[in-house]
Structure 1
Amino acid sequence: MPFVTTPAASYDHLVVGGGAAGCVLAARLSEDPDATVLLVESGPSHSGVREILEAAHWDAMIGGPYDHGYASAPTEHVLGRAIAMPRGRVLGGSSSTNAMLWYRGARADYDAWAASGATGWGYDDLLPFFRRSETRPGGDPAYRGLDGPVRVGPLTRVHPIAHALIDAAGERGIPVIDDANAASNEGAVYADYNAIEGADGSFERWSTARAYLEPALARPNLHVLVDSPVHDVVLEGTTATGIRHEVDNALVTTRASRVILSAGALDTPRLLQRSGIGDPARLREAGIHPRHDLPGVGENFQDHPLILGVNFRARHDLGAVLGNGGGAMVNWRSSHAETGPDLHTVIAHGSRGDDTLHDRYDLTGNRVFALVPGLYGSRSVGWVRSRSADPKVPAEFQPNYLADPTDLAAMVEALDAVQDLVATSAYADLAEGPITPPVSMTSREDRVRFVRENIGSFFHCAGTARIGTDEMAVVDPSLAVRGLSGLWVADASVMPVIPTANTQAPTVAIAERAADLLRTA
């Protein structure tokens, strides 16, 4: 078994972070029997964890033992609230804890990457890696993979509230499409999930730990170390030579020819900063000795905000939850959209909202469902900044939700639009009416406040170590950290601009391409 309690002294490849990207990289790099690979994960193994495998109630894991428990720094734009930003702390990372939506976005998203300096990262460059990563029965092979590791598909048993969302979108003039991972992602569609359904109605998650790592575990050249928080990257001059990390509560150094950071858009910049890589002035303020001037580390933080709290009362008991409680989604354009759909919603069986909302309104019982609108075209940008060299000191996570006034205007439109969807004839036999916001909340001022009070995260953190060639870029188009040797980044942090989609599938594609780049580096 490749699980180790004590790592070897050195490896060819050392992957930091056993999440959505890290499991892909460890598996792909260990395909070369002559290359030794160590995967280091701060959390435990995913194996045998019922909450991860039986994923119908995935949201119950938020704030639990497999979540890092991060939260955003409060701002006036969200009325001083600290917003939960869950990240998986387990093998598979957030692919072991998320809602399992599998989307890649639009051609224009990736062509914009290439145009901004991420040469070789346009849509046509990434399409082979999207296809290589998945098995999607019935998909168009020009766009979809037929024999990849991740098992993907829509639900075969779809709840009436999800069927009604598709019909309601059609009534409102929104296109109904077969596959949002094909030629266009604009419209209403039955959602793809990286999960499998059992004949008994079960719904099993297909994380990257399950899809990529488990089939590779028999390889003697692959070692996996769990429960090992990484403190920093070891630098000798301008060369990364290994990491310092905890093994059985002792701090040890493990060396490697290549160190690849795949700790995610929140923890990868923290690792770089704690290693002295970043903006020198900010590092000194945090008590960190600067080693390499790279001011873009932790900047360009992007996420998709959503509105939790758009709840409706059904006319009858909704029965059993099917799949993950969703089944359908809609992508459409606000009046502020530029090149494609900038708004998004999913259906949810059960109420959505924080404790304050549940204290104020009766959202109990099995007659409640929600629509969860979000902004895929967010203009607000924030940062991730370490406050100390001590890894136990929380960083400042600032997504800056609604800092751009256009984002706020678009989110108010999204609130109105999803209420209009449930007002269509498609929901006439299903929906009794809205609960929150109540029908009395009609003024723009009240609706703006409702949006600010109920903004949350879609958990799509990205952009904090972006690809590029300018001074604020962190990695070059080969994913090597600029100005250093022996150090690469491969996870959602390298995205120059967040795509109009859930970030899981793009992160896996990035890792797939990173493995090819590293093999030829």
Structure 2
Amino acid sequence: MNTTNGTFTSNSSDTVYDFIVVGGGSAGCVLARRLAENPEASVLLLEAGPDDAGLDAISTASGWAGLLGGSYDWGYSYDPAPAAANRSIPIPRGKVLGGSGSINAMLWYRGHRDDYNRWAAGGATGWDYESLLPYFKKSEDWQYGETEYRGAGGPLRIETSPDPHPVAAALLTGAAELGLSVLEDANAASNEGAALANFNAATGPDGILRRVSPSAAYLRPAAGWPNLCIRTNTSARRLVIERGRAAGVIISPTATPGSRGNSSDTATIRARAGVVLTLGAIDTPRLLMLSGIGDTPQLRAAGIEPLLHLPGVGANFQDHPLLMGVNFRLRAPLDPIRDNGGGAMLNWRSQSADHRPDLHAFVVQGRHTNPALAKQYGVDGDVCAVSPGLMRSQSIGSIRLLDAAGKLSIDPNYLAEQADLDALVESLDWMLDLAATSGYAGLLERPLSPPRRLDRAEAVAFVRASVDTFFHCSGTAKMGADEASVVTPELAVRGLEGLWVADASVIPEIPTCNLQAPVVAIAERAAELIATASGIRPASAASIATATPATPTATR
């Protein structure tokens, strides 16, 4: 595996590859590895950020929150909206090899089986739960071994905490007291109830939990493969479309503070079999639109010459809203932060839910609030939080291209649907009920934010002031069979040859869970679909080119 820093010189002289995978996040790492398992296929992975190898800030699980807003984060934010108290809400997205899988909270969940059955029923044939289950299992190495629902021996190590923090253990006790189930495995037959968190992480000999990022799990073991090349610090500027086919990608060095000349320093890399977009639900539609693929009137308004009218590009944007601000004063200082700073979660049903849980809560071993609420309620000192969110939000937003330079408007349309607002208002009382159980009696002194039970008007105002993002961006190039679909159930972009999308943007309806596990499963299945469509099938493991693995390095 060759790596380069985006200077257009590498250990390989190739400028033509069978496959170009654009975006080195969770999905891109999976796709590049799986496609390169055929030694006859040459694969190039493009990543705009640096390599994540050897970065302690990324590998240490407990420090992930400190990565948000830093140099490995793209720094996106949602447009201010009255429904969210006119706040601009940051959206952390990883700008590093491994993508958001290198900066997120490492939570590994699949949601409810009917989430995926709804995909299939809505036109994404072949994406029902039973069809997707083998790919969930294929990706993971579950610490308790293979079961009907869990995989063992896969690239990603999945563990629970060997020593849960007191605020995490209390969630399980409190949930049981409220009559909810305590689950041995939230990724098995049911996800309704409380459970210890599943992390894509591994506990070392020192007892410290460390991230197993998609790049570490999928790419580093392939370090000796001569048919896999990675270009870090390299941005995709535009797709090359020739005679109705994706023929390559125009690339340039990623702009950095103080850099000059990036706008004109470009190169073209060509693809024989095709191009796979794995830039995520924000940057996949951006690249499509910059390439003239999208809603024709919007493209023209942004100064882009339309090439292919696909009005679904950038539409159907979905994200789970959470509430920041359900904080409690502790009776005494607690243990130092361990694991990922959380460690347990709860899924339950609101009054308006169907048979699937729609509300979710997780513990935080410290403060969890935004600056305005922290100041308003005096959230400081020895505190912890149990924060709720909505996993079946019905409000749909959009991403629009504003100009030919790529500036975006990102609108999640939070709380546009009354049902979303009602469910989150209901969740506040649930958090206070949970905090009042015997499980938390010895830990919590009193609630801080909110400081008491609120009436309806107060609760609505609190929800609007505290609503934030789970970072679960999805849906902006959805798969299906209708005119609003951007890709087919085989993940091919409608109206073009040799172009596929295989990331969270293809999700037609957001599942009731964190998105890392679904995105990895999508990419696992996508690798087989794309190899079949291109005629370049993966080889058996025995025939994969062997070489002494070495940790890839990039010159920076």
The TM-score bracket by the shorter chain reads over 0.9
Partner of 1:265: 281
SS at match of 2:77: coil
Task: Map residues 376-395 of structure 1 onto 2, 5 A cutoff.
Answer: 376-391=391-406, 394-395=407-408
Q: Which residue of 1 aligns with 2:252?
A: 246
Q: Which residue of 483, 501, 523 maps to 1:489? A: 501
Alignment of 1:283-302 (within 5 A): 283-302=299-318
Aligned to 1:254, the other structure's residue is in SS state strand
C-alpha displacement of 1:330 = 0.3
Letter aligned with residue 411 of structure 2: Q
What SS does the aligned partner of 2:90 have?
Answer: coil
What does residue 507 of structure 1 align with?
A: 519
Output one character per residue of 1:372-409: Cα deviation in whole Å (capped at 9) or x when no partner.
10000100000111112213xx3111111101011000
Per the alignment, residue 370 of structure 1 pairs with: 385
Q: Report the counterpart of residue 448 of structure 1 in structure 2.
A: 460
Distance (whole Å) between structure 2 residues aligned to residue 238 and residue 337 of structure 1: 45
User: What amino acid is the match of 2:163?
Assistant: R
Provide Cα deviations, 1:462-494, integer angstroms capped at 9, x if missing partner. 111011011000000110000100100000000
Please state if 1:105 is matched with 2:106.
no
Task: List structure 1 segments (4+ residues) > 3 angstroms apart after TM superposition.
Answer: none
Residues 50-199 of structure 1 mapped to structure 2, 5 A cutoff: 50-139=56-145, 141-199=147-205
**8 Å CA contact 1:239, 1:484 repeated in 2:** yes
2:543 corresponding residue in structure 1: none
Q: Give 1:201 shift.
A: 3.3
Equivalent of 2:472, from 446, 449, 460?
A: 460
Q: Give the one of 403, 422, 427 matched to 1:414.
A: 427
- For 2:363 and 2:79, the matched residues in 1 are separated by 28
Q: Is the 8 A contact 2:347 2:361 kept in 1?
A: yes
Structure-1 residue corresponding to 2:544: none
Tell me how far apart the structure 2 counterparts of residues 163 and 48 of structure 1 sit (CA, whole Å): 32
Given the two structures, how large is their TM-score scaled by the length of structure 1? 0.98
Q: Cα–Cα, structure 1 residues 139 and 448, in superposed 2: closer, same or farther, change >3 Å? A: farther
Equivalent position to 2:290, from 249, 252, 274: 274
Residues 314 and 400 in structure 2, CA contact (< 8 A), matched pair in contact too = yes
1:471 pairs with one of 462, 483, 492: 483
Is the Cα contact below 8 Å between 2:359 and 2:392 reproduced in 1?
Answer: yes
Structure 1 unaligned segments of length 5 or more: list them.
none
Residue 429 of structure 1 aligns with which residue? 442
What's the offset of the Cα at 1:512? Answer: 0.3
CA shift, 1:339, in A, is 3.1
Q: Partner residue of 1:29?
A: 35
Change in CA separation of 1:140 and 1:174 when aligned onto 2, cut-off 3 Å:
farther
Partner of 2:451: 438
Query: 1:23·1:213 contact (CA, 8 Å) conserved in 2?
Result: yes
Q: Is the 8 A contact 2:146 2:152 kept in 1?
A: no
User: 1:247 offset after TM fit, Å?
Assistant: 3.7
> Residues of 1 paired with 2:54 and 2:400: CA distance?
35
Partner Cα separation in structure 2 for residue 85 and residue 53 of structure 1:
21
Matching residue of 2:54: 48
Structure 1 pair 201–361 and aligned structure 2 pair: CA distance change class (3 A): farther
Contact 2:35 2:531 in 1 (8 A): yes
Which residue of the partner structure matches residue 304 of structure 1? 320
Per-residue deviation, residues 426-456 of structure 1 (Å, max 9, x unmatched): 11111111011112x6221111101100000
**1:2 aligns to what?**
2
Q: State the one-letter code of the partner of 1:382.
A: G
Contact 2:165/2:335 (<8 A) preserved: no
Distance in 2 (alpha carbons) for counterparts of 1:377 and 1:344: 10
Q: Which residue of 1 aligns with 2:258?
A: none
Corresponding pairs, count: 517
| Mean CA deviation greater in 260-269 or 170-179 | 170-179
- Partner SS state of residue 456, structure 1: strand
- Secondary structure at the residue paired with 2:40? coil
C-alpha deviation, 1:317, in angstroms: 0.7
> Residues 323 and 467 of structure 2 are in contact (CA less than 8 Å); yes or no, is this contact kept in structure 1?
yes
Q: Deviations over 1:93-114 (max 9, x none)?
A: 0000000000011110000000
Quote the sequence identity (%): 52
> Relative to structure 2, which stretch is displaced further, 219-228 or 243-252?
243-252
C-alpha distance after superposition, 1:200-244 (max 9, x if no partner): 232210010000011112100000001111111111131111111
- Please tell me whether the aligned partners of residues 140 and 182 of structure 1 are also in contact (alpha carbons under 8 angstroms): no
Q: Deviations over 1:46-84 (max 9, x none)?
A: 012111011202111111000001100111111111111
- Check the 8 A contact 2:252/2:266 in 1, yes or no: yes
Contact 1:298/1:385, CA 8 A, preserved across alignment: yes
RMSD: 1.1
Q: The residue matched to 1:229 in structure 2 has which SS? A: strand
Paired letter, 1:281: P
Separation (CA, whole Å) in 2 of partners of 1:447 and 1:140: 44
> For the residues of structure 1 that align with 2:138 and 2:338, how far apart are their CA atoms?
29
SS in 2 for 1:235: strand
How far did 1:140 drift? Answer: 5.4
> Displacement, 1:358?
2.2
Q: What per-residue deviation string (whole Å, max 9, x for no partner) do you get for residues 174-224 of structure 1? A: 111111101111111111000112232322100100000111121000000
| Aligned match of 2:410 | 397
| SS of the residue 1:330 aligns to | strand
Distance 2:488 2:108 in 1: 27
Offset of 1:131 from its aligned partner? 0.2
Could you tell me how far apart the structure 1 residues matched to 2:137 and 2:148 are? 9
Q: 1:138: Cα distance to partner?
A: 1.5
The aligned counterpart of 1:331 is 347
| Secondary structure of the structure 1 residue equivalent to 2:389 | strand
Return the offset for 1:139: 4.9
Q: Quote the Cα distance in structure 2 between the aligned partners of 1:273 and 1:235.
A: 13
Query: Is this contact kept in 1: 2:61–2:210, CA < 8 A?
Result: yes
